[in-house]
Amino acid sequence: MTSATRRQFLALAGAAMAGASVAGCSIIGGGDTSSGSGPSKIDRPLDKTRTLVTYFSVPETDDPDNMTEDEENSTHVVDGKVLGNTQYVAQIIEKRTGADVFRIETAENLPLDHGTLEDLALEQQEANARPELKALIPNLEAYDTVFIGYPIWWYDLPMPVYTFLEQHDFSGKNIILFSTHGGNRLGETVGAITEKLSDSTVISNAFTISRDDMENTEAEVGNWLDSLG
Ligand SMILES: Cc1cc2nc3c(=O)[nH]c(=O)nc-3n(C[C@H](O)[C@H](O)[C@H](O)COP(=O)(O)O)c2cc1C
């Protein structure tokens, strides 16, 4: 992310907290659970054999050395391996819960250049596009709890995550949300997903962490997972 864009996200987040609406999109910068209407806890302990962690994440490089500022912003390096921020959160949830993992990927490779990725994401949002996915979850019936993780893109879900939500039948399942962001926290994504998956139980206690606070992720995810049960 360029410094200018970063400043813009932060400024917009501030404006949102003051109740403003920006560029036709009303955004909120408030608490982690502010827009969900579902229960804040799951009603029984997680059964790891019936839990799936899904995530969308776009690390803008796979080279841990000599990163640009944009590349650093979109990645977290663990043991010399480059992960996307959301991917890193997913990995911690996977380790703590012992659940299976499914990565949401688009059929077409996304550009890694930050500006080009931002432009494409905005174009897709303005067109309300549903980018094709590389694969769908092959055995969704095997799970009754599904974590869904995503970065905030242009104050909203990345459009491939809308494809993901619409191309699976999540009815009857517990849905637990997590995200990473550059200033806008969860935006209105919890409310949007709760509305979209009206036949599922979307837990209102969603997790979000800023890409600038990734060093605290392990502890924060642990506390959040404890607060769910
Ligand atoms: C295309 C694009 C749009 C973004 N839009 C926003 C935004 O509107 N608000 C925000 O807080 N952060 C925004 N960000 C920052 C990302 O949410 C943040 O860097 C996130 O941690 C990236 O996660 P990832 O590494 O898992 O892909 C945007 C990033 C990209 C690439």
Q: What is the pLDDT along the chain (229 residues), one digit of tens a residue?
A: 454 555 456 555 554 444 333 332 223 333 344 468 899 999 888 999 999 999 999 999 999 999 999 999 999 999 999 999 999 999 999 999 999 999 999 999 999 999 999 999 999 999 999 999 999 999 999 999 999 999 999 999 999 999 999 999 999 999 999 999 999 999 999 999 999 999 999 999 999 999 999 999 999 999 999 999 8
Rounded to whole angstroms, the Cα distance separating 102 from 22 reads 34
Question: Is the Cβ atom of 147 under 6 angstroms away from ligand 1?
Answer: no
Pick the CATH number of 3-18+49-228 from 3.30.70.1450, 3.40.50.1260, 3.40.50.12370, 3.40.50.360: 3.40.50.360
Question: Is the Cβ atom of 85 under 6 angstroms away from ligand 1?
Answer: yes
* Top mutation candidate among 17, 22, 69, 74 for ligand 1, by most atoms within 8 Å of CB: 74
Reported pTM: 0.89
* Top mutation candidate among 91, 92, 154, 188 for ligand 1, by most atoms within 8 Å of CB: 154
